[in-house]
Amino acid sequence: MMTDEALSALAALAHPTRLAAFRLLVRHEPDGLTTGELVEHSGLTQSTFSTHLAVLAKAGLVRSEKQGRNQIQRAEIGALSALMLFLAKDCCGGRAELCEPLLAELTCC
């Protein structure tokens, strides 16, 4: 993952509405949710939420698929993994000792 991709992923998640939507989508993998359901959860206007969704999509964190007249949204777990790997390499690159506690916590969950 390039720095620019990481930046847009970070920016996409750095918003309450988008982070909540993304986490909700992760919990609904692999079925996904329709845009309308996400809008309801967000409490925002359909148009406002749509732009948030576009940010997530542009960052590669969410992919959408048309199903009838609904749009199914799904979390792109691979993008999340890539982002975490990007962050992890900052400390693990050459200094694995710094990441050891992190790995210990991750493997237990």
Partner DNA sequence: ATCATCCATCGGTAATAACCGATAGGTGTG
Partner DNA sequence: CACACCTATCGGTTATTACCGATGGATGAT
For residues 74 and 61, what is the distance between their CA atoms, to the nearest angstrom? 9
CB nearer to its own copies: pick between 43 and 93: 93
For residues 56 and 13, what is the distance between their CA atoms, to the nearest angstrom? 8
Binding site for its own copies (CB under 8 A): 3, 6-7, 10-11, 13-16, 19, 22-23, 26-27, 29, 77, 80-81, 83-85, 87-93, 95-96, 98-99, 101-103, 105-107, 109
Interacting residue with DNA among 10, 29, 36, 77 (CB under 7 A):
36
- Contact partner, 68, from DNA, its own copies, none, Cβ < 5-8 Å per class: DNA
- State the maximum Cα–Cα separation within the chain, in Å, rounded to a whole number: 51
In the bound complex, what is the minimum distance in angstroms from residue 9's beta carbon to its own copies? Answer: 8
Question: 16-36 burial, b if ≥16 CB within 10 A, otherwise e?
Answer: ebbeebbebbeeeeeebbbbe
